[in-house]
Amino acid sequence: MVALLTGSLLPSSSTAQNTALNARIAKLSAAQEAKVIACRRDLHEHPELGNEEKRTAGIVAEQLKKLGLEVQTGVARTGVVGILRGGKPGPVVALRADMDGLPVTETAPVPFASKARTTYNGQEVGVMHACGHDTHVAMLLSTAEVLSAVKKDLPGTVKFIFQPAEEGSLPGVVGGAKLMVQEGVLDNPKVDAIFGLHINAQTEVGTLKYRPEGTMAAADVFTIKVKGKSAHGAYPWLAVDPVVTAAQIVTGLQTIISRQSELTQDAAVITVGMIHGGVRNNIIPEQVELTGTIRTLDKDMQQKIWAAVRRTATNIAESAGAGAEVDIVNYAPITYNDPRLTEQMAPTLRRVAGPAHVTVQKAVTGAEDFAYFQEKVPGLFVFVGGMPKGKNPADTAPHHTPNFFIDDSGLTLGVQTLATLAADYLGAKK
């Protein structure tokens, strides 16, 4: 472990106090305040669902071109990539922002509230930036402007990745970070490390949070088809009852977390979200289908839990004389902050926000598709505060809800964080 932590992953001067350059970045970031807020509010008022971020992508591409970056559009459908080449040779660092909104109808009392509507999965719905991805786009555009202003002092290249469809594509459609990686977004030039930010509505403005290793959970979808034998409800002895068997499986699955998982190592969750079976009160059906989600923060635990779900479902079914077909599909990998990269960049976070405003946070059992980039290259995903100062997190609307609210006075900290992470990683010296 010691060898692992002292091994050199980054250019040697990466976390040196690049005082002069850091100070210029701080000043340039602060000067972005009016711009980043205006941009964010415009995007907030005009949200677009995943894979439909056409207006957003247009704004992004235009701004990046104005800054003189090399721009690619149509990456993973609506994604935009900008490349900024520094004045000196060096490594390649990527910064990522996701661009999509959600099918949520906004009720937040802000003058720039969304009135957008669209059709999603055949239903007419409101569209809202209910996860704050509008702030991510605005922060990364301002970061591009800040780093463009200091580019002659950057030893290396910065790749700006504006990603579509983080919240997921329609079932069966590959999109978002996974598709960007498949299309080679981490190649040409080859990315050495990647950084990403997420705004957080329950974290005070001015604060940064991070966690080494498993930060956000892997999300796996499981389906269990319990196969029995149909009969009249009055004669259960003629049936193999999949309803009772499915109920036992739901209960059995609960013991995987409570009795079989080492919870001091990391958290894990199994939730059954759907049970479908039967058409009538007095007919025992032939089949019942259970669908649920598994959340894990550690790859080893994930493998053990997958095996336990299979074992539990199959053997409970067998004990009833029924059968169980278990299907588990990974939906998003673990958002895994590379421990060496995290340790080397933590001083940058403390320098930018001030040591009192940087905390090592608890793991999150939600998932984030930034994980797909981190599967390929070392990455660090950081949370930045968007809650008004002095407010109780318990009194704020959660992400993905109609009343979700972000205090955008915290956005310049995000800009400075991204720009300084990139500059420090490239080992810029002035």
Q: Nearest distance from residue 346's CB to Zn ion, in Å?
A: 23
Query: What does the DSSP assignment read for 206-228?
Result: T-EEE-SEEEE-EEEEEEEEEE-
Only segment of 49-57, 125-133, 213-221, 307-315 that touches Zn ion (CB under 5 A): 125-133
Question: Smallest distance from the beta carbon of 177 to Zn ion, in angstroms?
Answer: 12
Q: How far apart are CA 238 and CA 420, in angstroms?
A: 70
CB of 400 to Zn ion, least distance (A): 6
Locate 370 and state its tokens: 């930034």
Nearer Cβ to Zn ion, position 131 or 239?
A: 131
- Residue 268: strand pairing partners: 296
Smallest distance from Zn ion to CB 194, Å: 16
Name the segment binding Zn ion (CB under 5 A); options: 107-115, 131-139, 258-266, 389-397.
Answer: 131-139
Using rule CB under 5 A, residue 139 touches Zn ion: no
Q: What are all long-range contacts of 274-278, with beta carbons under 8 Å and residues at least 24 apart?
A: 275/246, 275/250, 277/226, 277/242, 277/243, 277/246, 278/243
Of the candidate spans 21-29, 85-93, 124-132, 139-147, the one that interacts with Zn ion by CB under 5 A turns out to be: 124-132
For Zn ion, the closer of residues 25 and 131 by Cβ is 131
Is the distance from CB of 339 to CB of 380 less than 8 angstroms? no
Q: Do residues 423 and 398 touch, judged by C-beta distance below 8 A?
A: no
Q: Which is nearer to Zn ion, 153 or 408 (CB)?
A: 408
User: Which residue, 104 or 426, is less far from Zn ion as judged by CB?
Assistant: 104
In the complex, what is the shortest distance from the CB of residue 370 to Zn ion, in angstroms, rounded to a whole number?
A: 9
Query: Shortest approach of Zn ion to residue 56 CB, angstroms?
Result: 15
Total binding residues toward Zn ion, as defined by CB under 5 A: 1
Choose the binding region for Zn ion from 61-69, 123-131, 270-278, 335-343 (rule: CB under 5 A): 123-131
Beta bridge partners of 97: 162
Task: Choose between 131 and 141: whose C-beta lies nearer to Zn ion.
Answer: 131
Q: Which is nearer to Zn ion, 140 or 249 (CB)?
A: 140
Q: Whose CA is closest to 429, among 91, 153, 23?
A: 153
3-state SS, residue 101: strand
Give the nearer residue to Zn ion in terms of CB position, either 14 or 200.
200
Burial group, residue 34, by CB count within 10 angstroms (0-12, 13-18, 19+): exposed
CB 344 within 8 A of CB 311: no
Give the integer Cα–Cα distance in Å for 146 and 122: 42
CB of 136 to Zn ion, least distance (A): 8
* 23 backbone φψ class: left, alpha, beta (φ>0; ψ -120 to 50): alpha
Stretch that binds Zn ion, among 126-134, 223-231, 409-417, 421-429 (CB under 5 A): 126-134
Using alpha carbons, select from 80, 86, 120 the residue that is nearest to residue 103.
Answer: 120
Q: Candidates 129-137, 200-208, 221-229, 271-279: pick the segment binding Zn ion (CB under 5 A).
A: 129-137
CA dist 288 and 246 (Å) reads 7
Span of 117-125, 128-136, 185-193, 218-226 interacting with Zn ion by CB under 5 A: 128-136
| Choice between 240 and 387, CB closer to Zn ion | 387
The one among 131, 180, 322, 413 contacting Zn ion by CB under 5 A = 131
CB-nearest residue to Zn ion: 131
CB of 166 to Zn ion, least distance (A): 6
Minimum CB distance to Zn ion, residue 167 (Å): 5
Q: Which residue, 180, 219, 194, 176, is CA-closest to 333?
A: 219
End-to-end Cα, the chain, rounded Å: 34
**Contact residues for Zn ion, defined by CB under 5 A:** 131
